[in-house]
Amino acid sequence: MEILHVPIMVEEVLQCLDVKPGGLYIDATLGDGGHAEAILERSSPSGTLIGMDKDQEAIMAAGERLARFQSRAKIKKLDFINIKEAVSSAPEGVDGILMDLGVSTRQLLTVERGFSFSSDGPLDMRMDRSQKITVSDLVNTLPQKELAAIIKNYGEEKRWAKRISFRIIEEREKSPITATRRLADIVSDAIPRQFRPDRIHPATKTFQALRIAVNGEIGLLEKALPGALDMLKPGGRLAVISFHSLEDRIVKQFFVEKERGCVCPPKIPQCACGRKPVLKRITRKAVCAGEEEVRRNPRSRSAKLRAAEKLA
């Protein structure tokens, strides 16, 4: 199977995870296996990796890419929220975990997956195709207020969310909205021409919002982070690449919260809460791709990498 996805900030990820020979690592969002391949190369000759993904096509692509590592790589069809299940055979914990969030290039370029409006395809966007609900279901059944909230909160389309949702309701009453191009045209027409963005398609934010909603990405991330922290051994590291400001905010707040120690009022002379820091941040600010990488891979422009280390 052809490799389509270009991994982002590979060297930065390896440094944040402090990949070493003999370590045990998890790529919780395997994709085409680019980051996993780099981790296995850096951790050779005896390092091992568990790769997880809920997309069967990603599992197949990564399996081919990582075939040369044989027994050092184990691939499992699991959502990253089930990370504890993936490492049930390592009760002592793992040395590093990577989460590369968002949609992959393979998913975007596969027309029948419906992630992109560059080609006309079914309005799907499921990362796990065994899931029953598609974006078409959301667009054709949700009340106007719920659609507007999704577009505003997940797409950060604050000004036009209400107008877009009303236009969707109007159009679906004529006939069900089942194709990517039709939805993109509906969204574009809802935004006055003089207010349409210059650098991106007017429907980009709405498509992002609906994808996040149908896959439950925000809720899954909020649950997956504590599970990943639990599975790290002391000194183990968690690295997360996000492409959406809401996701990056969740990761940052989680790291800051777990780094905090005593939360007693300043006037109390001695700590009564007993709270101890659980981790320390490796990246005080988000790491971004360099100019050369952005030139080679424009998708890396919006990527933000954060990492933290579990304390003893």
Residue 249 domain-assigned (yes or no): yes
In a shared domain, residues 222 and 96: yes
Query: By percentage, how much of the chain surpasses pLDDT 90?
Result: 83
In a shared domain, residues 55 and 69: yes
Residue ranges making up the domain that contains 33: 10-106+217-310
In a shared domain, residues 242 and 158: no
Task: Name the 3-class secondary structure at 142.
Answer: coil
Query: By percentage, how much of the chain surpasses pLDDT 70?
Result: 97
pLDDT for residue 268: 83
pLDDT at 286 over 80: yes
pLDDT for residue 118: 87
Burial of 263 (0-12, 13-18, 19+ CB in 10 A): exposed
Mean pLDDT of 259-270: 85
CA–CA separation, 205 vs 196, rounded Å?
12
pLDDT for residue 173: 97
pLDDT at 4 over 90: no
Residue 2 domain-assigned (yes or no): no
Domain boundary residue among 161, 180, 215?
A: 215
Mean pLDDT of 41-55: 95
Contact 217, 101 (CB under 8 A): yes
CA–CA separation, 170 vs 147, rounded Å?
13
Written as one letter, the residue type at 234 is P
Residue 88 domain-assigned (yes or no): yes
pLDDT at 3 over 70: no
Mean pLDDT of 51-75: 93
Contact 306, 287 (CB under 8 A): yes
How many structural domains does the chain have? 2
In a shared domain, residues 194 and 238: no
118-174 confidence digits (pLDDT tens): 889 999 999 999 999 999 999 999 999 999 999 999 999 999 999 999 999 999 999
In a shared domain, residues 120 and 209: yes
pLDDT at 279 over 90: yes
Mean pLDDT of 188-195: 95
238-263 confidence digits (pLDDT tens): 999 999 999 999 999 999 999 998 88
75-118 confidence digits (pLDDT tens): 999 999 999 888 877 768 999 999 999 888 888 889 999 999 98
Domain boundary residue among 192, 215, 238?
A: 215
Domain boundary residue among 193, 215, 237?
A: 215
CA–CA separation, 116 vs 94, rounded Å?
36
Q: What rounded mean pLDDT belongs to the chain?
A: 93
pLDDT at 298 over 70: yes
- Dump the DSSP string for 189-231: HHS-GGGS-SSS-TTHHHHHHHHHHHHTHHHHHHHHHHHHHHH
CA–CA separation, 235 vs 233, rounded Å?
6
In a shared domain, residues 119 and 207: yes
Four-point Cα dihedral 11, 13, 15, 16, nearest 10: 160
pLDDT at 210 over 60: yes
What ranges make up the beta strands (E) of the chain?
Answer: 24-27, 48-53, 73-77, 94-100, 232-242, 279-281, 304-310
